[in-house]
Amino acid sequence: MNASREKRGELHEAYVRELEPALARLRLRLSGPGDPQLDGSVESLDAVNEWFLTFIKERQETETVDLPSWWNPARPTAESGVPGSGPFTSSQLVLIDEVQAYLGEVLTKARPDATWVIYKGHKLDSWNGQTMLQTGKGMPFAVRGIVYNEALGAFLYRREVPVKQLSELVRTALAG
């Protein structure tokens, strides 16, 4: 990220501030009978991820919704019709935001010492300046990037993304 230190700080604060509202939206969305249970456990990630990987494939071109703070507002979403836009609609980006907030909740529940940090890597590192979850020593956990990449694989590239991928990544992060 080529933003100034102040801008990275503002984006980080906005990201952390938006986690609870994103979780509340996901809880509301998944409040019906038969929906995955959001109990904050690592085991719950499999059912949530199965639901997410199915739902993200549906291009939701209803109305434009407010974009998450981590999305570059200068980059048009898929429903804009602008050449080179996308790949996701604003509704899909909100869904990604909700699931990554839940993934963050699962990690922080499993590791109460986990903290949201601004990753400081080499200036050419694509993760540099991004908000990540530090769960111990070593590389922080790229919560948003992991969920976004799953969505890309399932929706854009039509790849089979393993349902257990999130829970396995969490277990690996917690073991390290």
Model confidence over 35-48: pLDDT tens digits?
999 999 999 999 99
| Confidence at residue 131, expressed as pLDDT on a 0 to 100 scale | 95
Average pLDDT of 58-85?
82
| Confidence at residue 153, expressed as pLDDT on a 0 to 100 scale | 96
Contacts of 32 (CB under 8 A, 6+ apart): none
Q: Specify whether the CB–CB gap between 89 and 61 falls below 8 A.
A: yes
More confident residue, 16 or 86: 16
- What does the domain layout of the chain look like in residue ranges? 5-175
- DSSP string over 100-143: HHHHHHHHHHH-TT-EEEE----TT-TTTT-EEEE-SSSSPB-H
Q: Specify whether the CB–CB gap between 77 and 86 falls below 8 A.
A: yes
Q: Specify whether the CB–CB gap between 101 and 165 falls below 8 A.
A: no
The alpha helices in the chain, defined as continuous H runs, are 5-29, 44-55, 90-110, 143-151, 165-175
Mean pLDDT for all residues in the chain = 91
More confident residue, 99 or 74: 99
Contacts of 133 (CB under 8 A, 6+ apart): 104, 107, 108, 114, 115, 116, 117, 140, 141, 143
CB atoms within 10 A of CB 73: 8
Tell me the C-alpha distance between 6 and 10, whole Å: 6
